[in-house]
Amino acid sequence: MSQMKWALLIVAATAVVGCTKKETPPPAAEEAAAVEKEKPAVVAVEPILPLPSSVDVNMDKVLLGRSLYHDTILSGDGTVACVTCHSLDHGGAEPRKTSTGIAGQIGPINSPTVLNSGYNFVQFWDGRAKDLQEQAAGPVTNPIEMGANWDEVVGRLKKNKEYASDFAKLYEDGVTQANTTDAIAEYEKSLITPSRFDKFLLGDENAITDAEKQGYATFKEVGCTACHTGINVGGTMFQKMGLVKDYFAGRGTPLTDADMGRFNVSKNPAEKHFFKVPSLRNIELTPPYLHDGSQSTLEGTVKIMGTYQLGRDLTDAQVNSIVTFLKSLTGELPAHAKPGS
């Protein structure tokens, strides 16, 4: 074969090899990396959901409800209002072990916070009210709380020119029990308190500190989120007080009717000592703690919960870490919350 033919054959072979090399699929590792890059990012599912920045309410009803919430006109002797036991300056709860009603009567249970209460699945510790409107009606006629009756309350409101005018603008039938509790419920629905932790849940990594992040991790690791979950960090279920160990025996004081919890409503023996799991939002602001108001500090409360609900002897480091996280749940009242704002 001549030199020219050999040269032509070599050129042709080189061209074939070059074309073949360009069509060779990428190595398996490169292909896998490309596929992985195309996958959508996996978003971690958190047991706690963020509060919205606002809630849909009728603001005229909210302002009427605000007036009613702060007015002693709803009580039998004109000395007690909703705010008496649900102080906005105390995280929507009260600074007392248990409530004080008309004539200085001492109630049987610690008042839970009203803040963010629209996200509870039922109202009151024992769940006897299905919603905020039903909850608003109860204390008015309770003889050791507000000690009034609704006919008298409606009569007083009708005689008040300002209230009569406000109700007439908002409700076709003016002042009624149903309309009064509707306005109070609308106001309470509006009392949401977004916190720094909500900003963190929404993607702002700098909204909480590293210590608070570690506290949240500890909160999840030890099992607190078995009950304290959802948008209100609680308020989604009933749970037995003393789930794994007898709380009331450990407390060492006689049982009260209030200690029976859900049983008082259902009369089901299996629901003795069951209570609505409380919200942990703004918990930093609401001592004393538990349904019986027996704990004065968050640290003591977390320790108690570890022992009786989780069956764990939490270390001081774990307790302090969890408390650090809980303080990140403290939010801000909406601008309209207090009278005059």
- Active site residue ranges: 145
Asked if 280 and 193 count as a contact pair (C-beta separation under 8 A), the reply is: no
In angstroms, rounded to a whole number, what is the distance separating the alpha carbons of residues 336 and 285? 20
Alpha carbons 49 and 45: distance in angstroms, whole number? 9
Residue 328's closest CA among 50, 79, 122?
50
Is 1 known as a binding-site position? Answer: no
Beta bridge partners of 289: 295
DSSP, collapsed to helix, strand or coil, labels residue 165 as: helix
Place of tokens 């109070």: 184
Q: Is 228 annotated as a binding residue?
A: yes
291 is in an annotated binding site: no
Report the amino acid identity of residue 123.
Q
Structure tokens at 31: 């292909």
Q: Is 19 annotated as a binding residue?
A: no
- 59 among annotated binding-site residues: no
Alpha-helical regions (H) of 148-195: 150-159, 161-170, 177-189
For residue 100, give the nearest of 120, 117, 119, 81 by alpha carbon: 81
Contact predicate 43/187, CB 8 Å:
no
Contact 153, 168 (CB under 8 A): no
Cβ atoms of residues 241 and 192 within 8 Å: no
CA 173/CA 192 separation, integer angstroms: 29
Q: Which whole-number Å values give the CA distances from 94 to 53, 90, 109, 144, 163, in the listed order?
A: 25, 6, 11, 16, 27
Backbone phi, psi, residue 252, to 5°: 80, 15
Residues making up the annotated binding site are: 82, 85-86, 224, 227-228, 305
Residues making up the annotated binding site for heme c are: 82, 85-86, 224, 227-228, 305
